[in-house]
Amino acid sequence: MNTHLMVSDAEHFRIDYEINPYMDTEDQPDTGAAVAEHDAIIEAHRRAGRTVERMPSEPGCPDMVFTANAALVRRGRAVLGHPPAARANETEHYRRWLERRGYEVIEAPYAFSGQGDALPCGDILLAGSGWRTDPRMHDFLGERLGYDVVPLRTVDRRWYDLDLAVAVIGNPHTLAWCPEALDRPSRQRIERLGLELVEVSRAEAERFALNLVSDGDTVTMTRDAPRLAATLRNRGLRVVELPTTELAKGGGGIRCTALTLE
């Protein structure tokens, strides 16, 4: 899992609008530092043996570094994201990129945050809604991509995408999550999945602890969540911790910067 990724770059990363509670137009990223941070993430993916494809960012798309929101891809099919208006310009670029590579591209009929709100775990899809994804997308994704969908709802705008509150670790069936970030029925649904669960504190989750990429052997994550990093190491995973201070100004972390292609 997560061995083939699509990333963009941080050349045009800016805070031009505020569409999540972490963004503040008065607090701009330093472009040089952001590019270095992003390059280090890509380097870590490659060292972990993952294939990384790059799609250049566009000047009019200041959030394009966060490619996870582009789509949800499975077995040669891609359901395109349908983002908030401020990010609408990105979608055409993603569509063209995916089509050129031979993916069957499917339009999302409702608001959809792409992989930001859709975390595959084998044949199960953990799917968020409430902030960036219309709940009607869940059946649509189940049908078009062949998943059993587990609908989940986060309780606060801080968790505007599910990939801030839940992370699939794998190896073989482990999930890390911040229970407080989910409403009670969602918590129960997760507890009944029969997976091994690793709890993450609200404080670490707010520092993008769960916004990680795991292939089941190596976990690439922020260096701002030492407790989760230690827990995962104790479970036998290789953990690579990286700075994410510039990306955090956009309200994202490592998971947000990579779209999984398989």
Q: Which residues bind ligand ARG (CB under 6 A)?
A: 19-20, 23, 63, 66, 68-69, 87, 116, 161, 163-164, 250-252, 256
Q: Which is nearer to ligand ARG, 19 or 239 (CB)?
A: 19
Q: Please tell me what DSSP assigns to residue 154.
A: B
243, 40 Cβ separation under 8 angstroms: yes
Shortest Å, Cβ 87 to ligand ARG: 6
Neighbour count for residue 193 (Cβ, 10 Å):
14
Q: Which is nearer to ligand ARG, 138 or 158 (CB)?
A: 158
Neighbour count for residue 120 (Cβ, 10 Å):
19
Q: Which is nearer to ligand ARG, 22 or 103 (CB)?
A: 22
Spatial separation of the C-alpha atoms in residues 151 and 165, rounded to whole Å = 14
Shortest Å, Cβ 19 to ligand ARG: 5
Q: Which is nearer to ligand ARG, 63 or 204 (CB)?
A: 63
Shortest Å, Cβ 116 to ligand ARG: 3
Q: Give the residue nearest to ligand ARG (CB).
A: 116
Shortest Å, Cβ 252 to ligand ARG: 3
State the SS3 of 19-85.
CCCCCCCCCCCCHHHHHHHHHHHHHHHHHCCCEEEECCCCCCCCCCCCHHHHEEEECCEEEECECCH
Nearest of 196, 205, 213, 195 to residue 259 by alpha carbon: 213
Q: Say whether 106 sits in a helix, a strand or coil.
A: strand
Shortest Å, Cβ 212 to ligand ARG: 12
Q: Which is nearer to ligand ARG, 92 or 196 (CB)?
A: 92
What would the two tokens of residue 229 be? 């990093």
